[in-house]
């Protein structure tokens, strides 16, 4: 699919704050707010095609259940928790099946 997942965050007082929406973009067209970025995740396989000012990168920096649990605990402490039935993942390719040729 030749796309990378993109979301930009800044760290403020030890907490990650989102500064862009989740999106899928072609590596050459990645848009994030101006500045220098640390890039995390397996999208770094496109390192040469990313036109970003990168401070560094880590292909192995991927989320796991422990990370999700820590985020949920922090949200609960801030009163931002929701009912488990309403906690749904974000699917950026939820309609990919509609885009396949011949389908």
Ordered DSSP codes for the chain: ---EEE--EEEETTEEEE-S--EEE-GGG----SSEEEEESGGGGGGGG--SEEEEEETT----HHHHHHHHHHHHHTT----GGG-----TTTTGGGGSTT-
Please tell me whether the overall predicted TM-score, pTM, comes out greater than 0.75 for this model.
no
Domain layout of the chain by residue ranges: 4-99
Residue 15 has pLDDT above 70, yes or no: yes
Question: Residue 74: is its pLDDT beyond 90?
Answer: no
Average pLDDT of span 49-59: 92
């Amino acid at each position: 699919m030749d796309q990378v997942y993109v979301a930009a965050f800044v760290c403020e007082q030890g907490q990650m704050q989102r500064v862009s929406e989740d999106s899928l973009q072609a590596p050459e067209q990645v848009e994030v707010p101006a500045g220098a970025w640390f890039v995390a995740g397996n999208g770094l396989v496109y390192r040469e095609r990313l036109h970003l000012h990168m401070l560094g990168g880590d292909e192995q920096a991927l989320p796991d259940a422990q990370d999700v649990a820590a985020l949920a605990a922090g949200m609960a402490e801030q009163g931002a928790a929701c009912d488990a039935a309403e906690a749904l993942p974000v699917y950026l390719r939820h309609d990919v099946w509609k885009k396949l040729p011949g389908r």
